[in-house]
Amino acid sequence: MIFSTLEHILTHISFSVVSIVITIHLITLLVDEIVGLYDSSEKGMIATFFCITGLLVTRWIYLGHFPLSDLYESLIFLSWSFSIIHIIPYFKKHKNHLSAITAPSAIFTQGFATSGLLTEMHQSEILVPALQSQWLMMHVSMMVLGYAALLCGSLLSVALLVITFRQDIRILCKNNHFLNKSFSFDEIQYMNKGNNVLQNTSFLSVRNYYRAQFIQQLDHWSYRVISLGFLFLTIGILSGAVWANEAWGSYWNWDPKETWAFITWTIFAIYLHTRTNKNLQVTNSAIVASMGFLIIWICYFGVNLLGIGLHSYGAFTLTSNL
């Protein structure tokens, strides 16, 4: 009873804190000069991280196994993963471009886990024999950490595509306007407007320079985060294969979850290949990563809701069949 009450308190505290963090972050986007608010949002995410950590540890103690046996627990762990991805750049004193992604992702996953799922799913069932293994912690934690990192990196790529396409559309519109514009100006008008043209050109050049720098940073962070997530995903798939051999007598069964995990791994392997190919543009790899964003949700959430296969622990099934 005490552990259940403590878990309930920590859940609501972490959800409330991360909600405040998002509000503060939105204010800092509008008023960039307020440095104190930015520091407060970062400290709020640290507090959220410790609250979710306490929640997981509490659940681990009174359940007697690592809390990753159902969809509710994996969503809480996913929220914890977003939090830790958020605070790592903060401690390294880097400019945190992930904050606009990790904070909303943490509140979305935790809010869905605590409010969107059936109440009965919050109560963990007795583990089936296949789940009573030390591989549970290794396999599932690596997979969820991989999903979190890949989702963050993919969203950075989506942001990169949006900024790039908006810039291309703006340039195209200006070129069309320039071609359609009449050139019937006399020499005096041209000389009078020369300074204004130069000033506008200089302003646009500076703005385009900073936009290009920002796109480069988005690509850099997307590549780093996706590379980390790809490593976690690879470890998770390999450890899952070893676990499957112990539990089912086969390393690979082409279960729906396994199939979509392999598809996810392939998509991001293609991303890493296109990203490291100097002959391809940045947008090519960003498009692949954006496709991977949808594939991850199908692999992580969509397959579970179907309730089929050996890995089914979706929202409409209260027991796990792994």
Burial annotation 209-229 (CB, 10 A radius, 16+ → b, else e): eeeeeebeebbebbbebbbbb
Q: Which residues, 6+ apart, have CB-to-CB distance to 19 below 8 Å? A: 107
Nearest CA to 229 out of 293, 168, 286, 136 is that of 293
C-beta of residue 66 within 8 angstroms of C-beta of residue 124: no
C-beta of residue 14 within 8 angstroms of C-beta of residue 55: yes
- Mean pLDDT for the stretch of residues 249-256: 84
pLDDT for res 187: 44
Q: What pLDDT, in 10s, does the model give residues 283-317? A: 888 899 999 999 998 888 777 777 666 666 544 44
CB-side neighbour CA atoms (13 Å) of 263: 18
- Mean pLDDT for the stretch of residues 131-143: 83
Q: What pLDDT, in 10s, does the model give residues 79-127? A: 889 888 888 777 766 655 667 787 778 778 877 777 655 556 666 666 6
Check whether 230 has a pLDDT greater than 70: yes
Terminal alpha carbon distance of the chain:
28
Check whether 35 has a pLDDT greater than 60: no
Strand locations in the chain (E): none
C-beta of residue 18 within 8 angstroms of C-beta of residue 107: yes
pLDDT for res 271: 94
Most confident of 9-13, 36-40, 82-86: 82-86
Which of 23-37, 68-82, 152-166, 251-265 shows the lowest per-residue confidence on average (mean pLDDT)?
Answer: 23-37
Q: Which residue has the higher pLDDT, 220 or 183?
A: 220
pLDDT for res 189: 46
pTM: 0.79
Instruction: Please name the amino acid found at residue 200.
Output: N
Percent of the chain with pLDDT strictly greater than 70: 65
Check whether 256 has a pLDDT greater than 80: yes
- For the chain, give the mean pLDDT: 75
Which of 143-152, 188-197, 267-276 shows the lowest per-residue confidence on average (mean pLDDT)?
Answer: 188-197
pLDDT for res 10: 76
Which of 21-25, 54-58, 63-67, 238-242 shows the lowest per-residue confidence on average (mean pLDDT)?
Answer: 21-25
- Mean pLDDT for the stretch of residues 75-81: 88
Q: How is residue 311 written in tokens? A: 């890995």
pLDDT for res 163: 85
Most confident of 6-15, 37-46, 172-181, 216-225: 216-225
pLDDT for res 169: 60
CA angle, 64 then 148 then 28, to 5° = 115
Q: How is residue 127 written in tokens? A: 């583990």
Instruction: Please name the amino acid found at residue 119.
Output: T
Percent of the chain with pLDDT strictly greater than 90: 17
Domain ranges of the chain: 1-117, 127-181+205-322
Q: Provide DSSP, 46-114.
A: HHHHHHHHHHHHHHHHHHSS-S-SSHHHHHHHHHHHHHHHHHHHHHTT---TTHHHHHHHHHHHHHIII
Residue linked to tokens 């507090």: 47
Res. 191 pLDDT band, cuts 50 70 90: very low
